[in-house]
Amino acid sequence: MTAMDGIRTIEADVAVVGAGAAGARAALAAAEAGARVALLSKGPLARSGITITAAGGMQALLHPDDSPEKYVADVLACGYDLADANLVRVLAEDSPARIADLERYGAAFQRQAGGGYDLRRFPGHSVPRNVFIRGGGSGLIGTLRNACLANPGIAVHEDFYAAGLVPRADGSPAPAGVVGLDLKSGEICFVGAGAVVLATGGCQRLWEINDCPADATGDGLAMAYRAGAELIDMEMVLFYPSVIVWPPSLRGAFVHYEFLAPEFLDGEILDRDGRPVLPKPLPVRDVAMRLMAEAIAAGRGGEHGGLFWWAGEGPKSAAGQAALNTAQYKYIRQHGVEPLTDKIEVAPGAHYLLGGIGIDAQGATSVPGLFATPECAGNIDGANRLAGSALMATQVFGCRAGQAAQAWALAHGAAPPEREELAAEVGRLKGKVAKEAAGGGETAAESASLTEVRSYLRAAVQQGAGVRRDAAGLGALLRAVAEAEEALAWLKVPDIRVYNQQLVDLLELEAACTVARLVAGSALKREESRGHHFRADFPARDDGQWLRHTTVRRGETGPEFGSRPVIR
Amino acid sequence: MKGIEKHSKEAGAAGPFIRVKVLRSGGGNGGAGYFAEYDVPAAAPLSVMALLAKVHDMDGSFACRTSMCFKGHCGSCLVRVNGQDVRGCVTLVQPGETVTVEPHSGFRVIRDLVVDFSAPAGAGDSGAGGGGETK
């Protein structure tokens, strides 16, 4: 391995970027197949990433009346026919085995008194299909974390920010490895690997209103794009109607829109004057969100830009009481808010990235040797998704991507990095740190400027690419992204060696700008409305033109947007 | 221990705020640290976790964990508040109060309030699962 002076080299057969449920599962699959794996985690295992926010529902083919055909039909219908059927079939067929794997790793699922899985039917399920892992998302990632730590083939690198992929010196577009920053030591590292799996999750933090941890900045999406991979349906972001915007200590949490239904709380969404915003019976989520967005735009929102989730005055069913008795609502009560009686200010917020890096059934991207797994991979759900799909997809495609990456690495071996590209990526990182010098030198930016650029970008994404979109707003967003990038180009952070959090902030923000441009451009491209993508200037679904994926790749002068058929 | 580094308002500054004193250090147990003081504008109660994120926004050189699960489960937020080890995400501070935040005592300090959880720590919690969430 040839590397540069002054950077640390780590060698592996497979590098997995991201260590939520998908990355941890990919690492296990690759290691169990014999690979030496470097598992790169931006934060501490099981204490960072998006998996920890999940409740733990996983849709699996376990009911005696279920079948792959029913499962596939349900997913495709929910996704407005925009999911690739080959991937959905894999999701259905592999799901029981992945549940069994989790039990082998030590997870427990909720079971009925008789011992069978406590399968529950959620909206869009033709057969009860969701099993619940004990401990929710934390239980899932805790189980996988323990399995990774117990596997001698997996080297875990926590607090490791992966920044970019570097191609091979032999002229192949395949990655030679990953450049990143080891925050604990402050070293810039090159992780040389035969194959790379991206498992970096979504980019929901681009939106001002979202219900995701601070990690969801889209780093892997930007890495894949810069490496030349095809991304698809980047306009498809799943919004959730009732993300809390006030009180401020609860920002990022949400209350369930579904619990307002008569069988639970029989509640309402109210405007600032206490008038209901939605008709009864309450509409499905995407319709509800459009009505809520219109009400907010019409000035009916509260002081903090939201509407009011209210459980109502009527008596609450046992199901309604039980629904508010979970860890999530305990957390809300610990912040002094009583969900049974208080009006909670909420607004639609980004919840899940449906689009992402295009993959085949083995998790292979359009770049050889580069694999990806949901949430950062797309085309599994389409324009909406069923409850329980996300966690199951992490296990099914994490496992497949890990196995395929191991096989690819075995067949092709590792190769040295292209030296100029490696130097350029290392230089990109080093160039963001202000170098103090005698008699002058560079000056680090005020913290405020980085925060201001981030706030500016997030407000622009919320405004231009939120629930309601049109060409003018998306054009304005593209201009805002260009302005943000221009401001960022001048920013430098102080020269702090150990845990330079500001350097990560800056790299994340740069990735966020890249991803925001892909979201805006894809949303402009899709001149129709479908599922969670609503174009006010093209309000109808257009199957004649748009039963297709939008695509984007890096071109000579910027992103090149296109489209391709959905796989049936 | 050096004196307190102040990022506080002058007397009479407008609006309610929370005064946050954080222990800053370059990491490694036993290294000398010092307290820095920040006034965070706050019209409503804030969790320690939300407060620290705001301090980091005011002074990016101050390091703290910012990721969280919004359920009080994951333990990313473990810190020491007014001398007690707590979960910062469910520890509320009222406007007008002063709060002192140090690294959690159970782990090695990497920098400021960021600790290394790879020191012995349990697996993911096993709280109440289920519910109706969609992720």
Average pLDDT, chain A: 95
Which residues in A lie closer than 8 A to residue B65 (C-beta atoms)?
A: 43-44, 47-48
Helix A501-525 to helix A447-464 angle (10° resolution) is 20
pLDDT band (50, 70, 90) for residue A2: very low
Average pLDDT over residues B93-103: 97
Within a domain: B33: yes
**B133: CB partners within 8 A, 6+ apart:** A54, A55, A56, A57, A136, A256, A328, A387
Structure tokens at A477: 């967003």
Structure tokens at A561: 């947007």
CA dihedral A281, A282, A286, A289 (to 10 degrees): 140
Which residues in A lie closer than 8 A to residue B76 (C-beta atoms)?
A: 43-44, 47-48, 52
A112 pLDDT above the threshold of 60: yes
List, in sequence order, every residue forming a beta bridge with A243; answer none if it has no partner. Answer: A254, A347
A156 pLDDT above the threshold of 60: yes
The pTM is what?
A: 0.95
Residues spanned by the domain of B31:
5-123
pLDDT of residue B26: 84
pLDDT band (50, 70, 90) for residue A444: confident
Cβ–Cβ of B74/A52 closer than 8 Å? yes
**A519: CB partners within 8 A, 6+ apart:** A203, A206, A234, A235, A237, A461, A465
A250 pLDDT above the threshold of 60: yes
- Out of A219-233, A520-534, B1-15, pick the least confident: B1-15
pLDDT band (50, 70, 90) for residue B27: low
pLDDT in tens, A483-502: 999 999 989 999 999 999 99
Which residues in A lie closer than 8 A to residue B67 (C-beta atoms)?
A: 43, 47-49, 213-215
Average pLDDT, chain B: 83
Within a domain: B59: yes
pLDDT of residue A421: 96
pLDDT in tens, B108-131: 999 999 999 986 533 333 333 333
Closest CA of chain B from A166, distance in Å:
28
pLDDT of residue B6: 82
Q: CATH number, domain at B110?
A: 3.10.20.30
Within a domain: B134: no
Helix A136-150 to helix A21-32 angle (10° resolution) is 30
Within a domain: B18: yes
A11 pLDDT above the threshold of 90: yes
pLDDT of residue B3: 63
Write the single-letter amino acid at A367.
Answer: V
ipTM of the complex: 0.94
B12 pLDDT above the threshold of 90: no
- Give Rg (Cα) of chain A: 23
Closest CA of chain A from B55, distance in Å:
10
pLDDT band (50, 70, 90) for residue A288: very high
pLDDT in tens, A334-393: 999 999 999 999 999 999 999 999 999 999 999 999 999 999 999 999 999 999 999 999
What values do phi and psi take at A57, rounded to 5? -75, 135
Within a domain: B76: yes
Within a domain: B132: no
C-alpha dihedral sign at A382, A385, A388, A390? positive
Give how many domains chain B has, as a whole number. Answer: 1
A1 pLDDT above the threshold of 50: no
A57 pLDDT above the threshold of 50: yes
Write the single-letter amino acid at A526.
Answer: R
SS3 content of chain A, % helix, strand, coil (to 5): 35, 20, 40
pLDDT of residue A316: 87
pLDDT of residue A445: 73
Which residues in B lie closer than 8 A to residue A448 (C-beta atoms)?
A: 58
Provide the CB-side half-sphere exposure for B114 (13 A, CA).
Answer: 23
First-to-final CA distance of chain A = 43
Within a domain: B128: no
d(CA A133, CA A286): 27
Closest CA of chain B from A554, distance in Å:
30
Average pLDDT over residues A83-94: 98
pLDDT of residue A446: 75
Closest CA of chain B from A19, distance in Å:
14
Cβ–Cβ of A501/B131 closer than 8 Å? no
Within a domain: B52: yes
A412 pLDDT above the threshold of 50: yes
